[in-house]
Structure 1
């Protein structure tokens, strides 16, 4: 049987729970529309306070994920995974609960009806009450919650999150949040009853309380140890993320709310708190990545699909949503700043076989790769990321999509030639991409129409298929490039490669492999029942209802991946682009060569078998 107040009464409503704010909104609207002289309205202030509380938690969560600032000061090296994100999806339930608790308090105690905006004496009284009442009371209640019955039925939920996050602060049962809400309300109510209350006191106390909770639950150490060296007594007045993390790790210690003083008085202070705090802040605990996948932005809106914006949004495959458009100016400005400073930023991290894998993003939009004057700047940013990876001791860096564009840098060849002393191996991952595309073409197919036929992937696909005796119609106007590829094939297979210059040539072919973007008008030449395989970025429009369309080449990461909580662009959870997977295989196999430039057709089957061996699976 479920314990009383261990689950939320609106749990089955999902996101419809926000409709419960409706009565407060209706009250505000009614007062504005029908009252000639609107009175002081607590419903309005409660709604504003709820919005501000949500913003505090969201912004603090975002700051924790600015990895280029926080990378070396992580309290926990492991990243948050999908399971934890899902369990904390409704982290803001307590804000809704406290809204109604606050509304009840304003109707119960008349002292709240005519509060001034400001009263300087109230802050001092609230501070004294917090230190003398709230802190010891929370300490006592928190210790009670760790007793067998209460922990099993209530508090264990809060401790179920492996990686402490700002939003983890909201993961608790209704009973806990009712108790914490009552404790938090003591200084506010008492100060108001004494006649020193004010509107700014209520806003200030609640938001500072939330900020300090965010501080402790964050997984980035942000309190410099030097302040404790100069002013040792501060150790007992303010806790740190490390201090709170030790409570989660060794649950019989560090029970305080914000002030370790009461742990010291209660003899529950973890002796390792300050030593570990100093170690983490210095970066000694940092684990550098072994593999990096270098991505790029596609467009302004898709650049918001990063953990430091909305953690829940990035845990789902990217789709354009209406609520993102108001964030467009902020996204554009942020990307421009990163562009100016030339920094690739971390967007995804996970652990595989005990080794750290990360995805970095070059702050450039897709259209910029096709601007002639932007070429050098983009290559400079990619080179900077490669050099940074080399300095960190990264073993393999894999280039995504446009970052390895042939016209841009020859599929990565430019960097290998320019930087001959690189320890990091540079790879475009296209060998596995070709293998994935080829695996999707049925064995019984005897004829294929190929666009983008003279690209790296197009060439490899054409040469591989002709070995199987498949007739490949290569769409290209360059006879010289076609003949160059044809000459690479064995003499007995060259007749399988056929140059075509118009789409009309494929009007009877039902297997198209699209490596260069085609318009809906060009798709009309495909016969009914055609399947469009594709390796083009961006994907072609799914215009024909009588045809089927393949997705971009992708692979599912092995089951033993840990800490994966980000979807790679439009890919499903746990699925990455084939070139990303190709880099992973390059790393796991320990290949010592750079995989740049043209694809070695003889390696396609070798890399495919290696991917299968390591647990990667086609989608």
Structure 2
């Protein structure tokens, strides 16, 4: 929102939320009815409006994903600053201008003479569009933009756009409603002219709109992607096509580089920033920065790919949860899964910074269900091994194994890779020690007994031992779990282990994978479900308290955190992820994989000392 919002700042359909697209329904119905029932010549323009809107949405989303992928791995960053959740929230309505363009297009196609039945191509109309954009549109935009930087208009409208210092492609269309309407009037000049003069065509309309979207998105990327050879081949091009670094200076300096897409007007009117060329050269050269810590994760369900930082920005900024519209994305999800299965390689999905550490998150191109397939085990292990060796080659200090990348039956909690490569300098961390500490500190003080249920793991055995050492009784309802715990615990602690068929013997349940729905329903009211697994239990009871899987709140100093980690709340990070960072901050020279458990209290104290906080559940 602008610092002093002026009239017509809010979009008219703001209160409709995600139902705003229903506004298009009357136009679509009328268009289909007219096309199907009309006796005259069919109106082709009306029929391409919806495909064109879908293309605009896809085009913008491709730029969003590309930009986020590049800024996570590219050395050609322009601004080395952080994007936070408030910017993602502010830019969450980027599709409003697509909806508005649909309403305008349907309206104009009805009332403007000559808008119906446009031909596919007319060369003269395309030439007119280019000339009209390079002349009137660019000049009028330049002066309108300068006017918007006057303190009166800036504080009421344009400051909303400039709230984003570090820009993303979608920043280009984040404006108050009144300001967007001004831009729509400018961009309508070429389109209305060619339509009214009878030189319009489908190609000119669709091409001009695509050009605007392309240049808008490209210019707001936070990495330089325009190659130098392009200007070497055609030197005058630098006056007719801006670059991301050129426009980035407008967002940092504010009073320079006002142009729309053509810098020639900044040269003419003396508002070109003198550091434009130097920043362009520096951005192209880039700064190579190797990460200190890598967290290795993977997508979970088919739809989780949209919640990755590279996916849909608004979804990634919220904890992962199944949405009602997920079924509509099913075909796209299935195709993306097949492509990753066939051609995929480990990708960098996120880059952060904490103090002097550079952090990256890499994702294995496999989904959770594929980890359960025996035919995929060797393939996935080879992906993980390759990622570890690549991180070793880059000089990474620590790699933490997230989710199913650390399964005991899968790779012996990462020990498999250490066995194959015993001279690794990089430290492999599974985070089990910190997970144990988090679970132990989540149990309410004064608890005398807990119920332990779920598939037993390295973490659960360590938790059981620590509970016995504290004199807390462990109740099991499964004979198999009881026998396994009895074998693993020292004989002197056997008095703290009990087997029963009753589920109402403890108010705190420590649960792992394998907890059944009917077991949850047997829990007494007010039971705390505290998971020790990588995946949280399904929430079935409204009268019980559910903890997340072991996780901690990250310190304020951790930068560029604007996506949620799976189902965790904002600025909350899983134990295995935190453990890798703490391991590097402390400079510990040991691995934490296989059966290795570090000093739980030492790890917990180190995490707290570096600013990580316990996650409170009520």
CA–CA separation in structure 2 for the residues paired with 1:103 and 1:549 = 49
What's 2:449 paired with?
447
| Residue 265 of structure 2 corresponds to residue 262 of structure 1 | yes
Q: 1:354 to 1:173 in 2, by over 3 A?
A: farther
- Equivalent position of 1:327 in the other structure: 329
Question: Any residues of structure 2 matched to 1:208-219 within 5 Å, and which?
Answer: 208-219=211-222
C-alpha spacing 1:444/1:199, structure 2 compared with 1 (3 Å): same
Asked if 1:582 corresponds to 2:579, the answer is yes
Give 1:376's match in structure 2, choosing from 378, 382, 386.
378
3-state DSSP class of the match of 1:322? Answer: coil
Aligned to 2:183: 180
- Tell me how far 1:427 sits from its aligned partner: 0.6
The verdict on how the C-alpha distance between 1:273 and 1:321 changes in structure 2, with shifts beyond 3 A counting, is: same
Q: What secondary structure sits across from 2:308 in the alignment?
A: coil
- The reply on whether 1:167 has 2:174 as its aligned counterpart is no
Q: Return 332-341 or 226-235, whichever deviates more.
A: 332-341
Deviation at 1:382, TM superposition (A): 0.8
CA deviation vs aligned residue, 1:300-357 (integer Å, no higher than 9, x gap): 2223322333111111111112323333343344344434456222333333225332
Secondary structure in 2 matching 1:442: coil
Report the Cα distance in structure 1 between the residues aligned to 2:497 and 2:73, rounded to whole angstroms.
55
Cα–Cα, structure 1 residues 420 and 29, in superposed 2: closer, same or farther, change >3 Å? Answer: same
* CA distance 1:362–1:236, change in 2 (3 Å): same
1:532-543 matches, within 5 Å, as 532-542=529-539
Structure 1 residue aligned with 2:368: 366
C-alpha distance in 2 between matches for 1:75 and 1:379 = 36
Aligned residue number for residue 552 of structure 2? 555
How many residues of Structure 1 are paired with residues of Structure 2 in the alignment? Answer: 611
Cα distance in 2 for partners of 1:606, 1:164 equals: 41
Q: Given the superposition, is the C-alpha separation of residues 370 and 268 from structure 1 closer, same or farther in structure 2, using an over 3 Å criterion?
A: same
Residue 127 of structure 2 is matched in structure 1 by 124
Relative to structure 1, the CA distance from residue 201 to residue 453 in structure 2 (aligned partners, 3 Å threshold; closer, same or farther) is: closer
**Contact 2:293/2:581, CA 8 A, preserved across alignment:** yes
2:562 paired residue among 562, 565, 570: 565
8 A contact 2:512–2:531 mirrored in 1: yes
Is the CA contact 2:72–2:348 (under 8 Å) kept in the aligned structure 1? no
1:66 corresponds to: 69
* 1:151-550 to 2 correspondences below 5 Å: 151-282=154-285, 284-341=286-343, 343-353=345-355, 355-451=357-453, 455-473=457-475, 477=480, 482=485, 485-487=488-490, 493-498=492-497, 500=499, 504=501, 508-521=505-518, 530-542=527-539, 548-550=545-547
Residue 568 (structure 1) shift: 0.9
RMSD across aligned positions (CA): 2.9
Indicate the residue corresponding to 1:14 in structure 2.
17
Indicate the residue corresponding to 2:593 in structure 1.
596
Is 1:144 equivalent to 2:147 in the alignment?
yes
> Following TM superposition, by how much is the alpha carbon of 1:543 offset from its aligned partner in structure 2, in angstroms?
5.1
Q: CA deviation at 1:384?
A: 1.4
Question: In 2, Cα distance between the equivalents of 1:405 and 1:22?
Answer: 49
Query: Cα deviations across residues 391-411 of structure 1 (Å, max 9, x unaligned)?
Result: 333322111131111122221
Residues 1-58 of structure 1, C-alpha deviations (whole Å, 9 max, x = no match):
7423333333333334323323312422442565455752765444443333233222
Residue 103 of structure 1, CA deviation: 4.8
Deviations 1:121-151, CA, capped at 9 Å, x for gaps: 2111211222222222222222222222222
CA contact (8 A) 1:27 1:43 kept: no
For residues 78 and 272 of structure 1, the distance between their equivalents in structure 2, rounded to whole angstroms, comes to 19
SS at match of 1:159: helix
SS in 2 for 1:110: coil
- Tell me the distance in 1 between the aligned counterparts of 2:558 and 2:78: 20
Cα separation, 2, equivalents of 1:18 and 1:529: 41
Range that drifts further, 554-563 or 314-323: 554-563
Question: For the structure 1 residues 179 and 70, does the alpha-carbon distance in structure 2 shift closer, same or farther, using more than 3 Å as the test?
Answer: farther
When residues 523 and 214 of structure 1 are mapped into structure 2, their CA distance, relative to the original with a 3 A threshold, is closer
| Distance (whole Å) between structure 2 residues aligned to residue 246 and residue 104 of structure 1 | 38
1:215-261 superposed Cα distances (whole Å, 9 cap, x missing partner): 11122322111222232222222111111112212222222211222
Q: Any conservation in 2 of the 1:517–1:537 contact (CA below 8 Å)?
A: no
Shift of 1:370: 2.9
* Range with bigger deviation, 258-267 or 329-338: 329-338
When the two structures are superposed, what TM-score results if normalisation uses the length of structure 2? 0.90
TM normalised by structure 1 equals: 0.90
Are the equivalent residues in 2 in contact too, given 1:369–1:402 (CA < 8 A)? yes
Corresponding residue number in structure 1 for 2:138: 135
Which residue, out of 39, 50, 54, partners 2:53? 50
- Change over 3 Å in CA distance of 1:588–1:135 after alignment to 2: same
Q: Which of 78, 82, 86 is equivalent to 1:83?
A: 86
Return 155-164 or 23-32, whichever deviates more. 23-32
The 2-side partners of 1:386 and 1:223 are apart by: 33
- Mapped to 1, the partners of 2:70 and 2:495 lie a distance apart of 51
